[in-house]
Amino acid sequence: MRTIHFTLNGEKASAEIATHHTIVEMLRDRFDLFGARESCAQGLCGCCTVLVDGRAVSGCLYLAAFADGAEVVTVEHLAVTMLNHELRPFLSKWHPRLREFEKAHPDGQESAWPDNIACRGELRHAQVHLVGFALGFARLAGVREAEAAIAPASQPAV
């Protein structure tokens, strides 16, 4: 057994592991993270993918010991952070206001909404922030050349 130290989903972490433990076993058994799970155990299906220093690895084959000193990100972190820190604040701020406007002006155009410009400005800001999450999800899903596929969305029309 040995102790490794790393960053897990943005927090400092350490774990005592055996040299044969995979990163998926460590995440499951030491941190109760089940988003990456073993299925084929041969590096073929992608169910076990985690990001290590920004690179997608097959967690069923990747030894936990290799994560020593690395930055590890799991799908749970991407999903929860994206929802709680990007989408929820935007939606909880603007959705009630837009809904109120729509109720008061059932035939009104959204462009007539007094908050339209401010809302769109914050939407563009949120879209730029979401690119990092989209790239993370794409890497976990095995999308090739994710940057090329996603980058155009990071430049929203003004």
Residue ranges in contact with ligand FES by CB under 6 A: 38-41, 43-48, 58, 60
CA distances from 71 to 55, 57, 138, 147 (A): 10, 12, 18, 20
When the beta carbons of 9 and 58 are compared against ligand FES, the nearer one is 58
d(CA 135, CA 17): 30
Q: What is the CA radius of gyration of the chain?
A: 20
When the beta carbons of 40 and 123 are compared against ligand FES, the nearer one is 40
When the beta carbons of 14 and 39 are compared against ligand FES, the nearer one is 39
Q: How far is the CB of 77 from ligand FES (least distance, A)?
A: 19
Tell me which H or E stretch contains 4. Answer: strand 2-8
Q: How far is the CB of 46 from ligand FES (least distance, A)?
A: 5
